[in-house]
Structure 1
């Protein structure tokens, strides 16, 4: 059996919930469905259940601009974020649009009908849905498996090995020695959380350091302005947060040595005397060549000062029965090893796209404003920023889609496409050196060397190019 909806959204995480809310407000007359492969909404914030899970972006920009985050907590925990998403979905009455356990496996565009035919797996059966507009909001990583290197001797270890993406509900690490492999956002969250929750000792084992910077867990400006009306306070604090993050990123790119010195100085202030700041907290790369890790109220440094946690910078030789043997010859004893080694990227959630029978190869496409694929009609995707809150970009994409659909309706056209311009040079889509990105470069679309094919990673500039530039900009083609 087949049915038809005007707009089909893939994914009921933060991006998909935001997309459905905006469509219900801006285009109430259109039929909309949200397909979610899992059995609950929330995406990342429902999937990850490891201790201490939280946002490392401030909630005044991580929350939707049209539905403000309450209170003054800046770096919120995962359960609070999930409850926020559930509340937004209820308030905008979009829960009724979500179809759980509906996994999209393929989508085929037909120019003769100007429709997508989407193949969906549900409860062991395959069905089809047709739609005039397809919006991918499933994120950028594989929900089914994270990335874990093949460690030599892993089968010899007698303890428990877990990945943060698949955290066992019954894992008891009370009074046990824990080694967390990794130094990214997940690792710097896990270490203090597990130390505070009763682990005998937690060791963060890193191959190379990451930039770690402490931020107040509660926004001081939001706290001072608590007597103002909540909507006004939110706008002020949000504007401050956007400007601060933009300036920090631009300064990191233009004056990297100055920013490196600042971060080092801040880390040195909070580390105990026996922890060498240059060995463990001075990366070889520049700030924002990889994502900077923000920790609320310096909780990671506090764990190191208390002695409940430690950091080791070395390479893994192999696993042993008792723990991990390092290249230096030291053996780290462990009862539990957490492989916080990153994500596995999966472009467009692994959905296979075809246009008039021809397979769309992601690596051969170029992104238009980092939200459409070249030569793929009536298709938009939402991917957030790497250097700022995900939701800043998600909100911009939602604004663009609402404007685009209005333009199609007003001009009586059914098809929009961004034709590939052969004169535009190719660049990497994401200018980051993080391992999870480098591993997937050959599978990702490209960006161009000039607008509107280039992603600036600058929210203030994107407000103009995505929200204020004309829809009919001479690049998009309408039929």
Structure 2
């Protein structure tokens, strides 16, 4: 018999994914000893880190909220502060605070086959000049719920001459809270969700804003408040109203995504007509016609058309072009046609240039002394990874609310834990033989820059359903409920494992 580990489950990260996992285990796996290890000083993950002006959800809160804790706020598109409050309320309602260790960064995790557990190294930062601490713990199960991007660094491409710029040059991920933009000329470089959020928020703060894009983005306006949700809440019990609105939004989102993929020309034309009506005389065909189809990258949500309103008012504008050089008080573009012969004057530059992908919270993963490269493994049922025992990774949807998959993965994990308790197993591994014969799918599901830049870091997918990261919530939900745990792939062992060693299944297909 092996010595009992310190924890049954160690959850890395106290954002949406970690809170969902903790709530499911607390509710569905009574008696399990678990802890959520969060490097930041507060829960919330993305919503605790991102504090730039206007930060808000980029999908509706009825699906971004948890299925087990319906969103009750007035706004369907909520700002960052409201989302942080919601997450803290969920932690309090489910008595999760006792399981959360903030200020605790896990730096390494190694699977020990002999002991059938994960050995974790952690550290804390000292406060007020005090020295931090470090330690170790063991856990039977490890859940990677730290998201998909680097909290310490954004994608920050060097621009020619940027050292010459006299004003502030800001990354949204690390927004300086004392920055005053009133009366300033602000150039926001980028055209994704962050830029689309910042432009109207900065204009509202009195800035004259230019969104400088290299490539246009697809935008869709949506009401900040959901009128159907307000109506149903007046006439139906709150839980029933919440379920109906949530399912309406899930199904509508799935229909629209599939329609955009099947008929990109028609959907693109419809989106342009909507944008043209919203912008009126400010409509610019070139600035709002991307070179890719809708939903090849994430669609940018514009609550109450605020971006369009800022452009229409003259407080903001969109310029399409490539940067030639950053100068002391502006940006020179390769293409002309602007004031001063292709030059944008700027007092502040915001580099909304995207995220830097990171996997597993940048934890150094090992198995029996050998480093684990997640790109050598395949996704299993959107929840686990091939030949890695007692390991769950949460990677949410890119075409819907992240939370939808986080809840699915948490429910699946609870089922696995309960099955192991009932059968006396200590190890669960999705086994993929070295001669698996699967076809590796090299086509990225989306062409977003951060995914293409970091594709070499990600676990891989096959064309076979069990071994791919899918992006269809309704299909995934039905599949996970229908497919048995004992599916001939997920192997349950006692400790120490009695069967053959885990096959070495590195995927050597060129990326």
Report the TM-score range of the alignment, normalised by the length of the smaller protein: over 0.9
Aligned CA RMSD, in angstroms, stands at: 1.3
Q: Which residue of 1 aligns with 2:384?
A: 372
Instruction: Encode CA deviations 1:99-146: one digit per residue, 9 max, x unaligned.
Output: 112111111111111111011112333311100000111000000111
| Secondary structure of residue in 1 paired with 2:467 | coil
Residue among 454, 458, 465 paired with 1:440: 454
Are residues 1:342 and 2:354 paired? yes
Instruction: Encode CA deviations 1:67-124: one digit per residue, 9 max, x unaligned.
Output: 1000442111110000000000011111111111211111111111111101111233
| Secondary structure of residue in 2 paired with 1:427 | coil
Q: 1:1-16, aligned counterparts within 5 Å?
A: 4-16=6-18
Q: 1:287-302, aligned counterparts within 5 Å?
A: 287-302=294-309
Are residues 1:424 and 2:432 paired? no
Instruction: Encode CA deviations 1:154-192: one digit per residue, 9 max, x unaligned.
Output: 011101100000001111111111110000000000000
Q: Kindly state the Cα deviation for residue 456 of structure 1 after the two structures are TM-superposed.
A: 2.6
Q: Kindly state the Cα deviation for residue 214 of structure 1 after the two structures are TM-superposed.
A: 0.3
Displacement over 2 Å in runs of 4+? 123-126
| CA distance in structure 2 between the partners assigned to 1:378 and 1:84 by the alignment | 30
Q: TM-score, normalised by structure 1?
A: 0.97
Q: Which residue of 2 aligns with 1:155?
A: 163
Q: 1:5-404, aligned counterparts within 5 Å?
A: 5-123=7-125, 124-199=132-207, 201-227=208-234, 228-276=236-284, 278-329=285-336, 330-404=342-416
Instruction: Encode CA deviations 1:241-293: one digit per residue, 9 max, x unaligned.
Output: 000000011111111111111111111111132431x2111101011111100
| CA distance in structure 2 between the partners assigned to 1:69 and 1:78 by the alignment | 14
| Secondary structure of residue in 2 paired with 1:391 | helix
| CA distance in structure 2 between the partners assigned to 1:126 and 1:3 by the alignment | 18
Instruction: Encode CA deviations 1:201-234: one digit per residue, 9 max, x unaligned.
Output: 1110000100000011111211222312111110
Matched length: 476
| CA distance in structure 1 between the partners assigned to 2:293 and 2:145 by the alignment | 31
Contact 2:377 2:385 in 1 (8 A): yes
Contact 2:77 2:225 in 1 (8 A): yes
Contact 1:429 1:446 in 2 (8 A): no
Contact 2:275 2:283 in 1 (8 A): no
Q: Kindly state the Cα deviation for residue 385 of structure 1 after the two structures are TM-superposed.
A: 0.2
| CA distance in structure 1 between the partners assigned to 2:5 and 2:327 by the alignment | 56
| Secondary structure of residue in 2 paired with 1:317 | strand
| CA distance in structure 2 between the partners assigned to 1:455 and 1:250 by the alignment | 17
Instruction: Encode CA deviations 1:368-412: one digit per residue, 9 max, x unaligned.
Output: 122211111000011110000000000000110011101111111
Q: TM-score, normalised by structure 2?
A: 0.91
| CA distance in structure 2 between the partners assigned to 1:420 and 1:280 by the alignment | 47
| CA distance in structure 2 between the partners assigned to 1:65 and 1:170 by the alignment | 37
| CA distance in structure 1 between the partners assigned to 2:441 and 2:85 by the alignment | 39
Of 129-138 and 91-100, more deviation after overlay is shown by 91-100
Q: Against the structure 1 CA distance between its residues 24 and 234, is the aligned structure 2 distance closer, same or farther, given a 3 Å change threshold?
A: same
| CA distance in structure 2 between the partners assigned to 1:425 and 1:126 by the alignment | 43
Q: Kindly state the Cα deviation for residue 430 of structure 1 after the two structures are TM-superposed.
A: 4.6
Contact 2:408 2:477 in 1 (8 A): yes
Q: Against the structure 1 CA distance between its residues 102 and 430, is the aligned structure 2 distance closer, same or farther, given a 3 Å change threshold?
A: farther
Contact 1:429 1:444 in 2 (8 A): no
| Secondary structure of residue in 2 paired with 1:464 | helix
| CA distance in structure 2 between the partners assigned to 1:3 and 1:26 by the alignment | 21
| CA distance in structure 2 between the partners assigned to 1:464 and 1:21 by the alignment | 22
Structure 2, unpaired ranges of 5+ = 126-131, 337-341, 494-511
| CA distance in structure 1 between the partners assigned to 2:394 and 2:491 by the alignment | 21
Instruction: Encode CA deviations 1:284-341: one digit per residue, 9 max, x unaligned.
Output: 1011111100111100000011011000010011100111111114111111111000
Of 91-100 and 420-429, more deviation after overlay is shown by 420-429
Contact 2:383 2:393 in 1 (8 A): yes
| CA distance in structure 1 between the partners assigned to 2:364 and 2:482 by the alignment | 32
| CA distance in structure 2 between the partners assigned to 1:73 and 1:475 by the alignment | 43
